[in-house]
Each structure stands twice: as C-alpha cells, then as structure tokens.
Amino acid sequence: MKKYNPQKIEKKWQKVWSDKKVFETKSPGLAKDTAGKKKFYILVEFPYPSGDGLHVGHCRSYTALDIVARKRRMQGFNVLFPMGWDAFGLPTENYAIKMGLQPAVVTKKNTDTFRKQLKSLGFSFDWSRQVNTTDPAYYKWTQWIFLQLFKSGLAYKDKIAINWCPKDKIGLDNEEVVAGKCERCGTVVEKKEKEQWMIKITKYADRLIKDIDNVNYLEKIKIQQKEWIGRSEGAEIDFSLNNYEEKIKVFTTRPDTLFGCSFLVVAPEHALLEKIKDKIENWQAVEKYISKAKNKSDLERQDLKEKTGIEILGIKAINPANKKEIPIFVADYVVINYGTGAIMAVPAHDDRDFEFAKKYNLDIKSVILDNGVLVNSEQFNGMNLIDAKNKIVEFVGGKKSINYKLRDWVFSRQHYWGEPIPLIYCEKCNWQAVAEKDLPVELPKVKKYEPTDNGESPLAGIEKWVNTKCPKCNSPAKRETDTMPNWAGSNWYFLRYTDSKNNKELASAKALNYFMPVDWYNGGMEHTTLHLLYSRFIFKFLYDIGAVPKEIGNEPYIKRTSHGMVLGDGGIKMSKSKGNVINPDQVVKEFGADTLRIYEMFMGPFDQSIPWDTKGVIGTRRFLEKIYNLVIKFESYKVIKSEKNNELEILINKTIKKVGEDIEQMKFNTAVSALMILVNSFYDPTSPSGLCGARDNVKNLLLILSPFAPHLAEELWAEMKFKGMCAKQSWPEYNEKLFTSEKVLLIIQINGKVRDKISVNNGLMQKEVEKLVLELEKIKPQILGKEIKKIIFVPNKLINIVI
RNA sequence: GCCCAGGUGGCGGAAUGGUAUACGCACAACACUUAAAAUGUUGCGAGGUUUCCUCAUGCGGGUUCGACUCCCGCCCUGGGCACCA
C-alpha cells in the first residue's frame, strides 16, 4: 500500500509548478492572456531577510494569503502575488561588521536562505517579479522619489536630538537604546543635536485621516492610524506678561474654560525662558530644574508618577479673559514638540492640571456645569460650551487652530547599509539634487564601513566618494553622506512589482494602471502606524506630482488586514534567549510543508496571537494522512455503493460554500475544520468498501483542499487520473438547492429551555407545529394545567412555549 | 492614564440573538497485535435522586419569550500609545 510521503511529493510538485511557470502573472499588453480576466493584486509585507531565517510567523501570514491567491486564481482572476526583500538595515550591517563581511554578501546569503525556505513551503509567489531594496536598479527609484520630495520642498534639514552613546561615540537608533542605555556597552545614552533630513509628512496629515474613510481597512487599523495622526481642533491664545513685552502662546482644545485658567505651564525647552531670564528672580533654581529635565532620558520623564515643576518668580501672565494675573510654571509634563510647548492650566476641568494645582496650592475654579453650561465666566455665563468655544476665542483675539500628534519624518541615518541620499552640498549653491541621469548614487564598495566616532555617517570618511562637483555651478562640492532609513525602500515597493524590470521609470503607467491599487494587503499590526502610514503618504505624493496615473486613485491599498503573532509554547514571544523558537525547516522536514500550512491555519483565529503546540502539528499530519489513505483506497474501487452517497453529496456542496466564504473572511480555522468534517464523512462503516461517495466528490474535495495543502491535492489529483493540473482548475460551484432538505430539526423550548427536538417537514406552519408539539409525550405533562401565555415560533428552527 | 483586542472543558478553540462546548489535541476503555507503535471504535464541562433534572461562557446588574452574543458597571490578560493641553 502506498504511503503519504510529503518530503517526496512536495519537492516534485514544486518543481513542476516552477518549470511550467504556473504562478507567473500575465502583464497587461499580452491581451490574449489577460483578456476577460480581472486582475487581483494580493500583497504581503516583504520580509527583512535576517540571519535567523524564516519565522513560523512569516509562514502563517504568507500561507493565509497564498490560500487567497490560489483560490482567486481558480476563480479566474489574473492574480499578482509577488515577493521581494526589504534588505537594507542595521542588523545586517552589525552582523557583517561582527563577521568581517560585506553587508552585500551577507544580504545575498540571507535572501538565498529565505527564498529557499519560502519555496519549500509551496507558496504561489510570482518569483519572476522579485525586488530587492538593496539592488541599485531598485534604489535608483527610491532615490528618485527622494529627489521629487526635495524638489517639491517636502525635504528639509533640521536640528534633531539623536541618541548618542558617549563611549562608543555613535548615534543610536531608538531600537538600540534599551532602558536608557546603549544596547552594546550599557553606557547611559545622551542626547546630541544633529542636522538631519526631515520629510514634511505633516503636510499630508489631514488627507491621511480623511481618506481612511474611503478604504476597507480593519476597523482597529483605521482607529490606530487616526489616533497616531491625532488631529485635535482647538485654538491658539496669547497670554501677555505683566513685566515684559513678549507673549506666551498656548494651544488649547478647551477655550471655553479660559475663565477657569489659574496658571500657565511651559515646557523646560521653551525658547522664551532663555529670553526672559533676566526678569526671573529665581533663575538659578529654574535653570537647575531645566537642566535636570533635559538630562532625564525620555523614559524617565515619561515614568514620572508625580508631576514636578517650579514657579517662575518676578513675572506673571495675564489671563486675557478676565485680566487677572496668574503664575507661570516650568514643568516637564508639558512637552515642547506638541502644540506651542505651553499650556493654559484649568485645574477644575483637566486631571493633570488638577493634580498639579493641588500639589502647588493653586486656584481651582469650576467654570462649566455638568450640563455643559458656563458659570463664573462673566458675560458668557449661561452659554453652552460649544458656542462658548468660538465666542471666547473671538473675544480674546485668539486664533482657531488644528494640531496633530504626527511629527515630521526623520529621514537621515548615519549608517552605511542604506540608500545614499542623492544630494550635493555646494558652498555657493547650497543643497543641490544629483542629476537624474546620474542616478543611482551607488553605495561605494569599501572595506571599512563601521560607524565613525564623530557621529558622521561612515560614508563621510570616503573622500574620493564625497568630493564631487556641484551639478549647478560645477565648483568643488561634497556629497550628502547620510543614508535613508529602512522605510525608504519599503514605502513604494508594491509599485515596482507591477513592472519590476523597468529601467526607464519606477513602473510604466500601463502596468500601474492595470495592477494598481493593491486589492488586498496583509501585514502585522506593528506596521500600522509607521510603514502603512509612510507608504500611504508617499503614494499620495506620487499621485500629486503625476508619477502614478490619476485613474488608480490616491490610496494605494483597497483593503488591509492583519495577522496575529505565533507565540512560543506557553504564550510567550518566541526568542533565542528563551530557547522556544520553532524553525519552519525542521517542521517541513519532519511533517511536511502541507502539514505546517494547515496547522498554522487551524491553530486559531488568524488575527489573534496563538501559542505554538507541537502536539497540534501531529494532529494535522494525521488529518493529511487520512486524506491520502482515503483517496488511494477510493481509487481502487470502480464504484462505491453506500446508502450515504446522497448525504455526502449534500455535505460537499455545503462545504464548498463554507470553505469559499471562510477564505474570503480569513476564517481559515473553521475552513479547515469543515474540511475535516467532510473527510470524516467519506467513511461509511455500513458499506462494503467502508466508504461512500462518488469520484466527483473526491474531485471537489481535492479542489477545495488545494489552496490549503497544494502538494497533497496535486499528488492525489494525479493519482485519481483527473485531467490537467489541480492548481489550474476552476473553483467548484455548489448547488444551494440541495441544502433545503425535506425534513428539518425543530427545537422545542418551554420558557426558553430546550425540552425536546423533533424532525418536521420543511416549511411547516405554526398552527400545525403547535398541534403536533402540544401532544408530545415530553411536552404534554409539562404544560398540563398551566396557562400558555405566548408561543414564539421561528419557522424551521424553533418553537418556544411560554407558560 | 488613554486606545484596541480578548476572557467559553484539562488545552487550542466553535457558536455574534435561537440545540453552548463544532473541529482538533490530551486522556481513558475496548478492538487488532505475542507485545508495542500505528490504526479503528466508544467515552470525555460539573453535580445529582442518571430513560431525566439542575448548574456552568471572568464578576455584578439590565433588556428579551430566549443572551457567550445586545446594554450598563466592574475585574483580569495581551498589544499599542503614552503627561498631547
């Protein structure tokens, strides 16, 4: 008897699919191939090819979308399901430094490993369209996009505090700072100001919020994006000082409470403090507080349980509403980079202000009643707070204003392994764009690329590369030596897939027009705020400058879903240090790719985090063996005689419907369970063969199984001698008429509790059911002598007698 | 503190107003076997007066003929953001 041997059949079919180019997407223009077919663009986040290899978490989300891709192909769509490498970045650079290798060499090795691993799982990616962010032919266009931002005035230089390790003499990314200390040497991290390229994403804040209503993202994703952008409407109000001509501008969302404002608070970094220090009587103490606040790491400042602050003596502010003099405080609970870095404190109506006022014994005056009507606000008394907002702003000569939490995007990195920023600095002409014909500005190949000890990018040390000529005036000039962040390459890669080998444009209008927008994009929740937002922004920008066709709209993704994490045993994150990492290669080797795929779909709801359970993997493998043995046995009979054939026919139609719907709703776990129930139903111990069903039933089983376990389905398709390749068949239809059987099971309740069940004719009316039910042996005694108050009847489902 | 997701058997989970515990794992018994593995069959929320009844979906209320599901309040777990004026 033949035995299920996944290791053998999986390799075999992977080769066939690849040789016959089964999953290569047809491009527009090849009218014969795409005519009459609707495109469907499915995108999964391309991986960062780390040295650790593929994670079982990658496998879970890629399997899910592979199932969607395979099903949509069977439904006749021209599916684009591409894969590539987001390969620039710090871990590769650090690993290369440690091992004394070139980052490019490490990247090549890692992508080769990842590709091999992904191929071993039988994903139906179109490998012919692969992109790699570190390929000069790719990053030429990443640089080109940056130049468009620069030319549009959306890129600018600004001084930004970076994390600085004084011992290693190196700027650190946030992720390299652990609990305020340098990840490498444990030294306390300091702040150091450095000029950085910034991108004005805030200019797009409003559109990034508004347009979210036009796309089909999971609700929690929409909420998180909106919260991150954090739009709040309010007003800017100037407070005069009693002793100085400067004013303090505050931002508030509650101008209606202005009469209750009993002090001002400014951030320690507020520029005014330095200006008015001569007037401040306790400047020494204030200065001490400021330097203490500045020296605190972000973490410390955030972790404060109790608010601290210091009053500025010798100078007071004047509440513009009632002209009263009020004290000014410096406190580090007010942050400099939101609003104006100064607030008007209304302790009666703000918890933080209240806490602060209690501590420093300040006035707490209530100005709004519970019903939203103003009191203690002179001529505004009795007014509704909504009307009062506008009136009071008007009264004090304030200005309505909108603030965002979103900040501009720091685009410079002082590392080697990233895209060089294609700008040249000329003493006469300032910053100049590299000419487009000179793109890409390739990363120079050098031996030494360690970060420098003065905080400059390693590229700064390569004089031959740095020294160049000004594109405008041809005098000696220097290249920008900072490189771009990881996000630069990943925020437009989905465009490149549509036309990945184009060397004239980032992608042709024709290809973009055909494939874009992305129909379905799945990724991790952790990318909701950064990658997802950045790429939406870049797409909108490209739309604005006409780099992508207007017809495709100004949102890149129609639908966005997210997956849950695969956790280690016991529900904790998989990590090397905990020793609970599951290697997909090992699972494939031991159980097979189809087992891994189905297990990861069956383990639980797709959007929830689920711990890995090796015992569960064994169960899935048993399920696949069961299918294999069933079909092999089935093949040996010409005709199966069984009383259950009809029943199976009905079940298979129901299952086709359910599996199809579940895939679209990402309910893969229940789809697998429906397949299990179906497979179990092929067994009939009362029939001579022990089986039931027809060859056609097996055919349909294999078809709906194939997106989940493509190798097994393909193998059994061949065993059954069905025509062609399973992967190229049409998704089966189902006959809904079969579901409506003659008899239905009716639930009988008394006072909402189940008391009996009977089988009745489909469509039986209430009157007849009542007659039937009231005479039932189990029911009759229970209602005897009791008053029937009400009878609830749900046709074909339930009858509830209320007594 | 705010936002989001979740809390159902020994475990992963199913059911989004109508038979709670599908499917799988684990466990137990039986069959096959010299034996074991594999496979198959059966059982498997708790309790009881056991052809049946009662109680169970984090806790407490409510709406409803009927609530895991909807509403109000609370507790716990996970994730995100964090003094955002």
- Two tokens, residue A218: 């999971």
Residues A722-754 pLDDT 10s = 999 999 999 999 998 888 777 788 888 888 888
Q: What's the pLDDT tens digit per position in A467-492?
A: 999 999 999 999 999 999 888 999 99
With distances taken from each CA to the C1' atom of nucleotide B12, the closest residue turns out to be: A603
Measured CA to C1', the nucleotide nearest A753 is B66
Regarding predicted confidence, which is higher, A368 or A73? A73
Contact, A567 vs A610, CB < 8 A? yes
What pLDDT was estimated at residue A530?
85
Spell out the residues 6+ positions from residue A577 whose beta carbon is closer than 8 angstroms to its own: none
Please determine, for residue A26, whether its predicted confidence score (pLDDT) is greater than 80.
yes
Q: Is the pLDDT of residue A303 over 60?
A: no
* pLDDT of A599 above 80: yes
- Helices then strands (H, E): number in chain A? 27, 30
- Res. A358: pLDDT tops 70: yes
User: Max CA-CA distance within chain A?
Assistant: 108
Q: pLDDT exceeding 90 applies to what percent of chain A? A: 58
Q: State yes or no: pLDDT of A167 exceeds 80.
A: no
Structure confidence at residue A37 (pLDDT)? 76
Residue A307 pLDDT: 78
Confidence band (pLDDT; 50, 70, 90) for A259? very high
User: How far is it, in rounded angstroms, from Cα A56 to Cα A58?
Assistant: 5
Closest CA relative to residue A4, chosen from A693, A622, A726: A622
**Distance in angstroms: CA A681, C1' B40:** 15
A649-672 pLDDT per residue, tens: 999 999 999 999 999 999 999 999
CA dihedral of residues A425, A430, A436, A437 (deg, nearest 10): -60
Tell me the pLDDT of chain A averaged across its residues.
89
Determine the average pLDDT of the residues in A347-354: 86
Phi-psi region of A712 (alpha: psi -120 to 50; beta: other; left: phi over 0): alpha
- Lowest-confidence segment of A51-55, A68-72, A431-435 by average pLDDT: A51-55
pLDDT at residue A31 above 60? no
Nucleotide nearest to A404 (CA to C1'): B84
Nearest nucleic acid nucleotide to A342, CA to C1' distance: B85
A183-187 mean pLDDT: 69
Comparison of pLDDT for A410 and A24, the residue scoring more: A24
Q: Which nucleotide is nearest to A792 (CA to C1')?
A: B65
Q: Measured CA to C1', what is the nucleotide nearest A749? A: B66
Query: Distance, angstroms, CA A359 to C1' B6?
Result: 38
pLDDT of residue A299: 54
For residue A302, pLDDT beyond 60: no
Which pLDDT value is given to residue A455?
74
Average pLDDT over residues A413-433: 93
Res A443 pLDDT > 90: yes
> What is the mean pLDDT of the segment spanning A674-696?
92
Q: What pLDDT was estimated at residue A385?
A: 86
Which residue, A330, A288, A290, is CA-closest to A310? A330
- Name the least confident of A324-328, A502-506, A686-690: A686-690
A778 CA: nearest nucleotide by C1': B52
The integer distance in angstroms from the CA atom of A669 to the C1' atom of B27 is 24
Angle between helix A614-635 and helix A695-705 axes, rounded to 10 deg? 150
Q: Are A530 and A225 in contact (CB under 8 A)?
A: no
Q: In angstroms, how far is B58 C1' from A57 CA?
A: 30
B58 C1' to A608 CA distance, Å: 19
- Out of A40-54, A185-199, A657-671, A748-762, which region has the weakest mean confidence (pLDDT)? A185-199
Q: At what angle do helices A584-591 and A103-120 cross, to 10 degrees?
A: 30
For A385-401, the pLDDT digits (tens) are 888 999 999 999 999 99
Distance in Å from B53's C1' to A762's CA comes to: 31
- Kindly indicate the confidence band of residue A776, based on its pLDDT and cuts at 50, 70 and 90: confident
Protein-contacted bases of chain B (C-beta within 7 A): 3-6, 11-15, 18-20, 22-26, 38-41, 52-54, 65-67, 78-85
First to last CA, chain A: 63
State both tokens at A674.
């429906």
pLDDT at A193 over 80: no
Task: Quick: pLDDT tens for A200-221.
Answer: 999 999 999 999 988 999 888 8
pLDDT at A33: 57
Specify the residue for token string 């097994």: A712
pLDDT at A1 over 80: no
Cis-peptide into A320, omega within 30 deg = no
